[in-house]
Amino acid sequence: MITIEFVVILLCLLTGTRFGGMGLGLISGIGLFILCFVFGLQPGKPPVDVMLTILAVIGCAATLQTAGGLNVMMQFAERLLRKHPQHITLLAPFTTWMLTFLCGTGHVVYTMFPIIADIALKKGIRPERPMAVASVASQMAITASPVSVAVVSLVSILGAQHGIGHAWGILEILAVSVPASLFGVAIAALWSLRRGKDLADDMDFQEKLKDPKQREFIYGGTETLMNQRFPKQAYWSTWIFFAGIAVVVLLGAFPELRPAFELKGKMTALSMNLVIQMMMLIAGAVMLMACKVNASAISNGAVFKAGMVAIFSVFGVAWMSDTFFQAHLDELKLALEGVVKSHPWTYAIVLFLVSKLVNSQAAALTAVAPMGLMLGIEPKMLIAFFPASYGYFVLPTYPSDLACIGFDRSGTTRIGKFIINHSFILPGLIGVSCACAASYLLVQTFF
């Protein structure tokens, strides 16, 4: 019966990914219904705390986008890239990493792809080199951003005692995930410096240039934000957003600054879940009032729409998987506890594969991390293998990868004949594996 129930979950995940994040959440509801009404399992608990935290973060980031703060950040990023075009392969991934780190979502970097391609072509650099690793870096930064859906999900999961070590706070998680993520991006960028043929030696590219129309298409357009002027309110919104993030990190680092309340006979500091929710709502409110933001436009932005899709996918996937794991916890412990305790890297493999299935780091974490804790994996191992939650680069179906391919007018960033041999597979594998190795060493050395 366990096998049949697991197959039901797997079929729902595979079917849901065909319809994107919304489809994943909706079709997970079908799986939940089958588990309850057909197999008689008691429904688990939907991840309400996680979803509310994500909602607050997305509301703040969407307000920032509406106020023009995201465009300010991207203009600064473009200025840096155009100042040092010869180093575009190294600078581009760190630029997209930083944008995601600050905003909490990789969907903010689409505007950077045509700019990166334009700079590379004008410098005679194969665009695939900076563009593919820049797309990978924008997703790897999700595990390092204090306001990303994945990080706030892990904070929620590890923010309480589990009978295995102490509760882990946001600052401890970021102390590992930030340097590990940067290390992975750096190694992937260094590898990308010499990938593929130079444009002068690429016969396919040179053949395209023989057609005047193709040559005009490849070299004709110039994408830039450099000449745009933004109102002062756009700059204000950026600093307000940064201030909100700084306060979250500060209160995470010093629990004594948070009010304490009696809980089960013990004085306990206000949870970081609630702190993040409050500060993101406050930052969004200050931007709304001080930066002349059109409130009705907030819900129309790309950040808000992407965030709501993420909430919906987390809702369905986590609720369905929690129903299964809670019902069969004893059997799973008996069968898997010894394996995952002695070989914690098996957790990383499962997380990586589930991430590919659900196309979301947060959804993969909310489905797999609680199971890991139930099976007795140390919380620090969940942090050590946090980078493995990014596995959806394996097949080039994620929106940022598809956008990256579309913006490379040279055609060097592409999907190969065998699908799996696409431009993102090697930078992704190098980046994630190196980030996991670095975070494992950091956890083992300092915690």
Give the separation between CA 251 and CA 343, rounded to whole angstroms: 35
Distance CA 385, CA 181 (A): 11
Neighbouring C-beta atoms of residue 221, cutoff 10 Å: 12
Are the beta carbons of 390 and 142 closer than 8 angstroms?
yes
Calpha distance 141→185 (Å, rounded): 9
In 3D space, the residue among 414, 364, 386 whose CA is nearest the CA of residue 21 turns out to be 364
pLDDT number for residue 290: 94
What are φ and ψ of residue 357, in 5° steps? -65, -40
pLDDT digits (tens, 9 = 90+) for 213-242: 888 888 876 667 777 889 999 999 999 998
Q: What residues pair up with 262 in beta bridges, in sequence order?
A: 267
Residue 337 has what pLDDT?
Answer: 65
pLDDT lower than 50: segments of the chain? 161, 163
Residues in the chain, overall count: 447
Listed residue (117, 75, 74) closest to 96, CA to CA: 74
Tokens in use for 27? 């079709």
Q: Structure tokens of 336?
A: 């898997």
If you write DSSP's letter for every residue of 274-329 in order, what string do you get?
Answer: HHHHHHHHHHHHHHHHHTT--GGGGGGSHHHHHHHHHHHHHHHHHHHHHHHHHHTH
267-302 pLDDT per residue, tens: 878 877 788 889 999 999 999 999 989 999 999 887
Six-digit token string for 364: 């993969």
């905003």: which residue's tokens? 103
Orientation of helix 361-374 relative to helix 329-342, angle to 10°: 90
Q: What is the pLDDT of residue 23?
A: 83
Write down the pLDDT at residue 21.
67
Nearest Cα to Cα of residue 164 among 376, 443, 442, 440:
376
Q: Collapse the DSSP code of 104 into the 3-class scheme (helix H, G, I; strand E, B; otherwise coil) and give the result.
A: coil
Buried b (16+ CB within 10 A) or exposed e, 292-311: ebeeeebeebebbebbbbbb
Q: Is the dihedral of CA 313, 319, 323, 329 positive or negative?
A: positive
DSSP state of 35: I
Paired strand residues for 266: 263
Distance separating alpha carbons of residues 347 and 389, to the nearest angstrom? 10
Q: How far apart are CA 328 and CA 315, in angstroms?
A: 20
Rounded Cα distance between 344 and 287, Å, is: 44
Q: What is the pLDDT of residue 165?
A: 55
Strand runs (DSSP E) across 2-140, as ranges?
A: none
State the virtual CA torsion across 343, 344, 346, 351 in degrees, nearest 10. 180
> Whole-prediction pTM value?
0.78
Looking at residue 201, the DSSP 8-state letter turns out to be G
**Predicted local confidence at residue 49, as pLDDT:** 76
Residue with tokens 């065909």: 18
Consecutive H or E run containing 39: none
The alpha-carbon radius of gyration of the chain (Å, integer) is 22
Tell whether the torsion through CA atoms of 196, 199, 202 and 205 is positive or negative. Answer: positive
Cα torsion 412, 414, 416, 419 to 10°: value is 170
CA distance 160 to 169: 9
